[in-house]
Amino acid sequence: DTAVSQTPKYLVTQMGNDKSIKCEQNLGHDTMYWYKQDSKKFLKIMFSYNNKELIINETVPNRFSPKSPDKAHLNLHINSLELGDSAVYFCASSQAPGQGLREQYFGPGTRLTVT
Amino acid sequence: AQTVTQSQPEMSVQEAETVTLSCTYDTSESDYYLFWYKQPPSRQMILVIRQEAYKQQNATENRFSVNFQKAAKSFSLKISDSQLGDAAMYFCAYSSNTGNQFYFGTGTSLTVIP
């Protein structure tokens, strides 16, 4: 009965590889997010989707591409991985604006290590 | 643009004592939410408490309570009877009720001393 799940939880890969992180929520939320948390714990929003539509696309390298096949899923694909991509990536979901309480529910995070 | 500021990078508290974590925010909106999230070493982000801006009454969840000062744009978290399990990074967050963006502070690392 996990609310927001992410796979994998740990990902170790070499520079130049392509990898994907999957996210699913069973809360019925319309809005999903990807965050990057760096080594200093700072949370930076990367993308946000509302009903499968991209609504926030912060300044991230275009090697990062989100995909939302339906409103319960938001995957993150990363091409040509670099050392600086090493971080913890969080998926989150919330109600859409004006639809009720706006707290975000987070997945467990994916620790990506690029060697 | 909205900003959230946590001016205390680190705090410590003796077990069973009370500690207050500070948060200020900047907004021109009137309809918004404020949150405190806890991130223990397990890295899971856990919602601790929420406050709707239109409510004057301060939110309370067991040992956690907030002091919401709307005019001053201040939203502090008070943890009473601190326990070892409270040791974590605490993030203050802002969300507009009409916009899509969430804004997080830089976090306060809380240590609980036995």
For residue B80, what are the contacts with CB-CB under 8 A and spacing of at least 6? B18, B63, B64, B65
User: Which pLDDT band, with edges at 50, 70 and 90, does B4 fall under?
Assistant: very high
Q: Which contacts (CB < 8 Å, 24+ apart) does range B80-85 have?
A: B80/B18, B81/B16, B81/B17, B81/B18, B82/B13, B82/B14, B82/B15, B82/B16, B82/B17, B82/B18, B82/B19, B82/B112, B83/B15, B83/B16, B83/B112, B84/B15, B84/B112, B84/B114, B85/B40
What residues contact residue A72 under an 8 Å CB cut-off, 6+ apart?
A24, A25, A26
- Chain A residues whose CB is inside 8 A of the B107 CB are 41-43
The closest CB to that of A108, out of B44, B47, B99, belongs to B44
Q: State the average pLDDT over residues A21-48.
A: 93
More confident: B60 or A96: B60
Q: What are the pLDDT digits (tens) for A56-97?
A: 777 789 999 999 999 899 999 999 999 999 999 999 999 877
Contact B6, B105 (CB under 8 A): yes
Mind listing the pLDDT tens digit for each residue in B83-104? 999 999 999 999 988 777 789 9
How many other C-beta atoms are found inside a 10 Å radius of the C-beta of residue B71?
A: 5
Mutation test of the interface with chain A: which of B29, B31, B89, B102, choosing the one with the most A Cβ atoms within 10 A? B102
pLDDT for position B14: 98
